[in-house]
Structure 1
Amino acid sequence: MNVAETPEPELLRDPESYARLLAHVRAAVLAGVPGPRSPRSVVSASWDRSLAAHVDPDAGEAPFVYDGDALAALREAHPLAPVLPVLRQMLVSIADDAEHVMIVTDADGLILWREGAAGQLVRGDRVGLTEGTRWSEAAIGTNAMGTALATGEPVQIHSAEHLVRRYHTWTCAAAPVRDPETGALLGSIDVSGPLRTVHPAMISLVTATAQLAEGQLRAQLAVRDERLRRVNMPHLAALRGRPGALLSAAGRVLAAESCTLPSTVDIRRGGGTVALPDGRLATVEPLAEGYLLRLSAAPGTHRARLRLEYLSDGTHSTTVDGREIPVTLRHAEILTLLALHPNGLSAERLALQLYGETGNPVTVRAEIHRLRSQLGASVVQTRPYRLAADVDADFLRARTALRSGTPDGVLRDFRGPLLPESEAPAIREERETLTAQVRQVALNSRDPAVLWSFWETACGADDFAVLDALLRTLPPADPRRAAVTAHRARLA
Structure 2
Amino acid sequence: MLGADGTSSADELVEDAVRLRRIYEDGLGSGSAGAPRPVVSDSWQRSLAAHVDPESRLPPLVYQADELREVREHHPLHSVMPLLRSTLVSIADEAMHVMLVTDADGHVLWRDGAHGLLHSADDVGLCEGTRWTEDAIGTNAMGTALALDEPVRIHSAEHLVRTYHDWTCVAAPVHDPDTGDTIGAIDISGPLHTVHPALVQLVTATAQLAENQLRVRLAIADERLRVKNMPHLAALRGAEGALLSATGRVIASEPYGRFPERVRLEEGADRVQLGDGREMAVEPLAEGYLLVPPSRRRGRVVTGAPELALRFTGGAGPRITLNGTETAATLRPAEVLTMLALHPDGLSGDQLTLMLYGDDGNPTTVRGEIHRLRSSLGTDLLLTRPYRLATAPDADFLRVRVALREGRAAEALDACAGALLPRSDAPAVRELRDELTAGLRHAVLDADDAELLHRFTGHPLGEDDLEAHERLLELLGHDDPRRAAVAARAERLLD
What do the CA deviations read for 1:1-27 (whole angstroms, capped 9, x no partner)?
Answer: xx9xxxx99887711111011011122
Count, aligned residues = 291
- Where in structure 1 do 4 or more consecutive aligned residues deviate above 3 Å? 8-13, 295-298
Residues 56, 137 of structure 2: 8 Å contact kept = no
1:57 and 1:160 map into 2 onto residues whose CA distance is: 11
Q: 2:319 is matched with which residue? A: none
Using structure 2 for the length normalisation, give the TM-score. Answer: 0.57
Residues 275, 281 of structure 1: 8 Å contact kept = yes
1:248 aligns with 2:226: no
Q: Percent identity?
A: 60
Question: Which of 275, 280, 285 is equivalent to 1:287?
Answer: 285
Residues 270, 285 of structure 1: 8 Å contact kept = no
Q: 1:164 is matched with which residue? A: 161
Question: Which of 227, 237, 242 is equivalent to 2:234?
Answer: 237
1:271 and 1:256 map into 2 onto residues whose CA distance is: 20
1:262 aligns with 2:269: no
Residue segments in structure 1 that go unaligned for 5+ positions in a row: 299-492
2:254 and 2:62 map into 1 onto residues whose CA distance is: 48
Alpha-carbon offset, residue 277 of structure 1: 1.6
2:295 and 2:27 map into 1 onto residues whose CA distance is: 64
Alpha-carbon offset, residue 270 of structure 1: 4.2
Amino acid at match of 1:16: V
Q: Residues 4-403 of structure 1 correspond to what in structure 2 (within 5 A)?
A: 14-30=12-28, 33-258=30-255, 260-295=258-293
1:192 and 1:286 map into 2 onto residues whose CA distance is: 44
Judged with a 3 Å threshold, the aligned counterparts in structure 2 of structure 1 residues 266 and 33 are, in CA distance, closer, same or farther, namely: closer
Alpha-carbon RMSD across the aligned residues, in angstroms, is 2.0
Using structure 1 for the length normalisation, give the TM-score. Answer: 0.57
2:25 and 2:278 map into 1 onto residues whose CA distance is: 59
Residues 145, 175 of structure 1: 8 Å contact kept = yes
1:253 and 1:43 map into 2 onto residues whose CA distance is: 41
2:239 and 2:169 map into 1 onto residues whose CA distance is: 56
Judged with a 3 Å threshold, the aligned counterparts in structure 2 of structure 1 residues 79 and 293 are, in CA distance, closer, same or farther, namely: same
Residues 102, 189 of structure 1: 8 Å contact kept = yes
1:33 and 1:159 map into 2 onto residues whose CA distance is: 18
Amino acid at match of 2:208: Q
What do the CA deviations read for 1:4-56 (whole angstroms, capped 9, x no partner)?
Answer: xxxx99887711111011011122243x7423222111111110110011111
What do the CA deviations read for 1:316-356 (whole angstroms, capped 9, x no partner)?
Answer: xxxxxxxxxxxxxxxxxxxxxxxxxxxxxxxxxxxxxxxxx
1:113 and 1:33 map into 2 onto residues whose CA distance is: 37
Alpha-carbon offset, residue 63 of structure 1: 0.9
1:296 and 1:61 map into 2 onto residues whose CA distance is: 56
2:30 and 2:53 map into 1 onto residues whose CA distance is: 19
2:95 and 2:169 map into 1 onto residues whose CA distance is: 12
Alpha-carbon offset, residue 288 of structure 1: 1.2
Alpha-carbon offset, residue 76 of structure 1: 1.1
2:121 and 2:65 map into 1 onto residues whose CA distance is: 19
**Equivalent position SS for 1:171:** strand
**Equivalent position SS for 1:46:** helix
Alpha-carbon offset, residue 203 of structure 1: 0.6
**Equivalent position SS for 2:215:** helix
Amino acid at match of 2:202: L
1:33 and 1:113 map into 2 onto residues whose CA distance is: 37
Alpha-carbon offset, residue 196 of structure 1: 1.3
What do the CA deviations read for 1:284-340 (whole angstroms, capped 9, x no partner)?
Answer: 110111010114799xxxxxxxxxxxxxxxxxxxxxxxxxxxxxxxxxxxxxxxxxx
Structure showing greater radius of gyration is 1
1:237 and 1:205 map into 2 onto residues whose CA distance is: 47
Residues 154, 173 of structure 1: 8 Å contact kept = yes
Alpha-carbon offset, residue 202 of structure 1: 0.6
Residues 144, 173 of structure 1: 8 Å contact kept = yes
1:65 and 1:190 map into 2 onto residues whose CA distance is: 19
Residues 245, 253 of structure 1: 8 Å contact kept = yes
2:117 and 2:106 map into 1 onto residues whose CA distance is: 20
Q: 2:389 is matched with which residue? A: none
**Equivalent position SS for 2:180:** coil
1:55 and 1:267 map into 2 onto residues whose CA distance is: 38
Alpha-carbon offset, residue 135 of structure 1: 0.7
Residues 11, 18 of structure 1: 8 Å contact kept = no
Residue segments in structure 2 that go unaligned for 5+ positions in a row: 297-495
Residues 57, 124 of structure 2: 8 Å contact kept = no
1:295 and 1:204 map into 2 onto residues whose CA distance is: 50
Q: Residues 331-480 of structure 1 correspond to what in structure 2 (within 5 A)?
A: none
Judged with a 3 Å threshold, the aligned counterparts in structure 2 of structure 1 residues 240 and 283 are, in CA distance, closer, same or farther, namely: same
**Equivalent position SS for 1:187:** strand
**Equivalent position SS for 2:223:** helix
Amino acid at match of 2:281: T
